[in-house]
Amino acid sequence: MNKKRAVLIFICAVLTALCVAGFFAVWQMKSLFGYRVWQNFYSEKEMSHDVIFYGASMVYADVSPVTLWREQGIAAYDLSGSGQPLWDTYFCIKESLKTQRPKLLAIECSDLKYTEEYTENRTAESLFGMKPSLNKIRAVRASVKPGELVDHLLEFPIWHSRFSELGKDDFEFVRDPSLGRNFKGYKAYFNVTPFESLNDVRDVAAMAPVTPRRDLFLRNIVRLSKEEGLPLLLFLSPTNHEYPEEKALFNFGEEIARSENVPFVDFSDYMRDMGLDPGNDFADDLHLCASGSEKFSRFLGEYLMANYDLTDRRGEAGYESWDECVREFDEKAGNEALSKETDMVAYSRLLGQGPYYSFVISMEGVNSKENPYIRETLENLGISADRYEDGGVWIVENVEGTESRILYSSVGFSEYEHHMDIGSLAVSVSGAASERRDITGNISPVIDRMIKITGQQEIQFTEHGINILVYDRKFDIIVDKAGFDTDTGYGVVR
């Protein structure tokens, strides 16, 4: 009896532990950089990275492993976190060397300009995704004040209040599908902040000392690279924010590098050489947008191939995930382009090209047979305009390598109601008989068409034109909800 009781207690204890672990896995903080980037890094094939980039947001926004692979075949990964200080970088390097042996450690050094001695608010962004280890304990201890150490080691006291914020993404235990299965730490910024000109502080020769801790950990990073026998590059990403007082601090860092016989490159000095356009290539004064990142990464890749013993891995077995990374990035860039397109016909062309798009389109208040613009739009989507001149609704699925297929349709003046799961979306479409007065005062029978996602507002941007809902099955996201209104010359409404 006692033995059975002991076994029962043991089983209950194990089940309780598993439930608590699962609950905490859902509840814990899941910042993109600090959790997701480590989550993906640990799942990477061991000993497959030739270059690892470390640092703050100027790494994950500016350094594109996509471009480095596409242009030079460099197998690179961005292992960075928002506002990552040099002491976090040091321990991130040590953690990464447990599974990777890169041919180059590349450290973005913008942290040299800051003065904070402790970075509790950034610890979660850089370290919470690390696996438990002595290295993680040392990393947290270096990052927080002594009185905050226990809370940050336990983590739960830091993120316990986010229970009300839990959403679908918190249940993605293995990978966040919106990042892609082959995410390499790069987060492209597609917004643009225009500037009139590029800052130029190349002539500043003054030096100002960085904080003692930054001096110490920069030297620690240099020492670690020498102990491991790994080449090291210290660099600064191009920004339009660099001022004389900051340049003086960076010059001091460059002097430390020179004394240690380590390269230090401020790529802001080469913005014109890489062709950066102040009006189109910056997300803000600190970060490049996607087009700027592409230009910088192409320039960076050329520099790396000329100065380090790197191999073009394209076509080599074991590096297929970088090919997939490029494809996934191009698909995400296509999503961005679609969500910003304002011309209806151009929009329909982009929509027809997305291999993983499912979309719902409703048309009302227009006659497709008499409207060549509507006609071309529908035909680009595989819908014959001759058959549906009085309006209709269609649920369409694009299939990679084949034409789109219509999963459901209802046309003309028939009332309808239909429910369908599209990926993780529960979508319903409906059409009810009604009447509508036109601008001349005439009343005509119509079908009021609605698109609705369960738990969200109905999608009906226009009563005279086309309404569209676009969903990406691969990344499990709504790409766009838009309407094109004939009363405004087919202007887009979002």
Residue 425 is encoded by which pair of tokens?
Answer: 């979306």
Name the residue type at position 52.
Answer: I
Arithmetic mean of pLDDT over the chain: 85
Q: Among 157-161, 325-329, 406-410, name the one with the lowest average pLDDT.
A: 157-161
**Candidate ranges 77-81, 148-152, 474-478; pick with highest mean pLDDT:** 77-81
Residue 83: per-residue pLDDT: 87
- Report the distance separating Cα 296 and Cα 303, nearest Å: 11
Task: Specify burial of residue 155 (Cβ count, 10 A radius: 0-12, 13-18, 19+).
Answer: middle
Strand order in the sheet with 416-422: 416-422, 425-437, 443-453
Task: Specify burial of residue 19 (Cβ count, 10 A radius: 0-12, 13-18, 19+).
Answer: exposed
350, HSE (Cβ side, Cα atoms, 13 Å): 22
Residue 273 is encoded by which pair of tokens?
Answer: 């050489």
Instruction: Say how many C-beta atoms besides its own lie within 10 A of residue 435's C-beta.
Output: 9
Compute the average pLDDT of residues 415-439. Answer: 81
- Report the distance separating Cα 31 and Cα 34, nearest Å: 6
Handedness of CA 80, 81, 84, 90 (dihedral sign): negative
Q: Where would I find the H helices in 127-210? A: 134-143, 149-154, 156-159
Percent of the chain whose predicted confidence (pLDDT) is above 90: 54
**Domain spans of the chain?**
27-332, 344-493
Tell me the chain's radius of gyration from C-alpha atoms. 27
Q: Is the pLDDT of residue 205 over 60?
A: yes
pTM (2 d.p.): 0.85
Phi/psi at 417 (5° precision) = -155, 130
Higher-confidence position of 138 and 167 = 138
- Report the distance separating Cα 392 and Cα 449, nearest Å: 8
Which residues 6+ apart lie within 8 Å of 216 measured at CB?
A: none
CATH number among 3.40.50.1110, 3.10.450.50, 3.30.70.330, 3.40.50.300, domain 27-332: 3.40.50.1110
Residue 308 is encoded by which pair of tokens?
Answer: 């380090």
Task: Specify burial of residue 21 (Cβ count, 10 A radius: 0-12, 13-18, 19+).
Answer: exposed
